[in-house]
């Protein structure tokens, strides 16, 4: 049999393993940024390959204001955030998953002067985190809140830092803690709040520059680590105490956005603006591991905004200017590269054995995971700007534009 046959079998097997792991965690749901595992993998099946305004749209719902938070989905509920009145009113919205009807639309915070945001950002970019009967919404320095599943506010908390370009990084839950990264132009720190009360449990300051990345919880040698990229440094922390375990330095950067991914005993990190590099690093040891734990680095074609996606020993990335690549995750050697064109900010999604790549103009590329060559299955277009990542749940894709939320389904 041909090597291509065995390669296809390997990709299918790896995709099945990833889907099984995601299904074990949250079958049919997508409760946080980047799905059940936080790394862009979904267990959903029977998803549509093609769609348009007149094809495979089960429903669409116009959304007032602007927000780039990815839809968070659990049970019959879809939760998003939005900002109206030029960012003064920060709101949480819940839609019925089956009908698209709005069942909750509540103002959580109001600021007469919310400040400025970057042209690619919004005042409502961090994704809602659903955790059992509670959910957590985060608007950077403009406020963090815990709500129940009816939309009632349980507690509020406001962190003091200057996020300059607006809020971006999403919160993370570990045991009884809600963890927030607050890397501003003035101060940089990570803090953990008590999930039940909003009171500070620990706070760890760090040096560097402003950053907007969502941290990732991983198991390293049997112990939990919280891995976070900031300006100049990436760090590994003990999530229970906030104690720094290790740090890895890259050439001075800032505004780091991509969320790390982890596998093969390696964490994959992006260094941020102005020149993005991608680093493969072993998250072991203590102290400064810059020299000792670097596995490989990619100096051209790394993303500034879209997060990487790891599938077995293949690492998929798409740069902001539309160059997609598949790399050998262990060596960094390129398998293939394809210029798609356009601009990209949303992070890739792996679901139903396919990769979904969404550009900023409503164009979604559906490709077959393969390290042999770029295999395009479909290109689909919907109207509007699209900077939020696609979510998958209940046999459907949920795609957010600057005006509406779509449920895309066969």
Locate 272 and state its tokens.
Answer: 């941020």
Question: What local confidence, expressed as pLDDT, does residue 251 receive?
Answer: 83
pTM equals: 0.93
For residue 376, give the H/E element and its range: strand 375-381
pLDDT digit string (tens) for 318-359?
999 999 999 999 999 999 999 999 999 999 999 999 999 999
Locate 101 and state its tokens.
Answer: 């009807």
Question: What local confidence, expressed as pLDDT, does residue 7 receive?
Answer: 46
> With contact defined as beta carbons under 8 Å apart, do 19 and 36 qualify?
no
Residue 279, strand partner residues: 269, 297
Question: What local confidence, expressed as pLDDT, does residue 26 receive?
Answer: 46
What are the residue boundaries of the structural domains of the chain, listed by start? 1-32+43-63+347-386+388-410, 68-205, 213-343
pLDDT digit string (tens) for 78-125?
999 999 999 999 999 999 999 999 999 999 999 999 999 999 999 999
Question: What local confidence, expressed as pLDDT, does residue 3 receive?
Answer: 46
Residue 327: CB atoms within 10 Å: 26
Cα angle, residue 174 at apex, residues 200 and 211 outer, rounded to 5°: 70
CB contact set of 126 (below 8 Å; sequence gap of 6+): 33, 69, 81, 137, 138, 139, 140, 167, 168, 169, 170, 171, 214
The fold for domain 213-343 equals: Lipocalin (2.40.128)
Question: What local confidence, expressed as pLDDT, does residue 27 receive?
Answer: 56
Task: Give the residue among 42, 1, 105 at the shortest CA–CA distance from 405.
Answer: 105
The ranges of the chain with pLDDT < 70 are 1-27
Q: Given the structure tokens 């102290």, which residue do they identify?
A: 287
- Residue 52 gets which letter from DSSP? B
Task: Tell me the CATH number for domain 1-32+43-63+347-386+388-410.
Answer: 2.40.128
CA dist., res. 99 & res. 112, Å (int): 34
For 124, phi and psi rounded to 5 degrees? -135, 65
CA-to-CA dists, residue 373 to 121, 315, 339, 343, 369, angstroms: 33, 13, 13, 22, 9
The fold for domain 68-205 equals: Lipocalin (2.40.128)
Query: Which strands form 216-220's sheet, in the order they lie side by side?
Result: 216-220, 223-229, 233-237, 244-249, 287-288
Q: Is-same-fold flag (1-32+43-63+347-386+388-410; 213-343)?
A: yes
Question: What local confidence, expressed as pLDDT, does residue 21 receive?
Answer: 42
């Amino acid at each position: 049999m041909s090597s291509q046959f065995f390669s296809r079998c390997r990709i299918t097997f790896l995709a099945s393993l990833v889907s099984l792991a995601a299904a074990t965690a949250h079958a049919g749901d997508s409760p946080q940024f980047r799905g059940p595992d936080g790394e862009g993998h979904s267990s959903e099946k029977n998803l549509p390959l093609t769609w348009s305004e007149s094809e495979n749209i089960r429903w669409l719902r116009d959304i007032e204001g602007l927000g780039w938070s990815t839809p968070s989905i659990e049970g019959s509920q879809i939760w998003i955030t939005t900002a109206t009145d030029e960012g003064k009113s920060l709101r949480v919205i819940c839609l019925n998953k089956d009908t698209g009807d709005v069942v909750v639309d509540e103002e959580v915070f109001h600021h007469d002067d919310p400040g400025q945001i970057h042209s690619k950002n919004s005042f409502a970019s961090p994704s809602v985190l659903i955790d059992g009967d509670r959910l957590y919404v985060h608007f950077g320095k403009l406020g963090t809140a815990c709500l129940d599943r009816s939309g009632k506010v349980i507690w509020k908390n406001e962190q003091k830092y200057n996020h300059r370009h607006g809020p971006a990084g999403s919160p993370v839950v570990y045991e009884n803690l809600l963890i927030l990264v607050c890397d501003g132009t003035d101060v940089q720190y990570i803090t953990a709040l008590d999930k039940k009360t909003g009171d500070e449990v620990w706070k760890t300051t760090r040096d560097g520059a402003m950053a907007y990345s969502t941290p990732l919880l991983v198991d390293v040698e049997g112990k939990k680590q919280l891995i976070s990229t900031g300006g100049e440094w990436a760090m590994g922390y003990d999530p229970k105490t906030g104690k720094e375990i290790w740090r890895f330095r890259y050439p001075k950067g800032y505004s780091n956005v991509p969320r790390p991914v982890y596998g093969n005993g390696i964490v994959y990190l992006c260094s941020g603006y102005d020149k993005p590099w991608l680093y493969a690093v072993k998250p072991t040891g203590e102290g400064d591991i810059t020299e000792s734990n670097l596995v490989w680095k990619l100096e051209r074609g790394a993303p500034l905004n879209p997060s990487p996606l790891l599938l077995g020993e293949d690492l998929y990335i798409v740069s902001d200017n539309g160059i997609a690549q598949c790399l050998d995750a262990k060596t960094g050697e390129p398998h293939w590269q394809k210029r798609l064109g356009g601009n990209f900010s949303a992070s890739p999604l792996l679901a139903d054995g396919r990769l979904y790549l969404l550009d900023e103009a409503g164009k979604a590329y559906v490709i077959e995971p393969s390290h042999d060559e770029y295999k395009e299955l479909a290109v689909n277009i919907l109207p509007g700007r699209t900077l939020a990542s696609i979510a998958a749940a209940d046999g459907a894709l949920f795609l957010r534009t600057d005006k509406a939320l779509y449920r895309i389904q066969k």
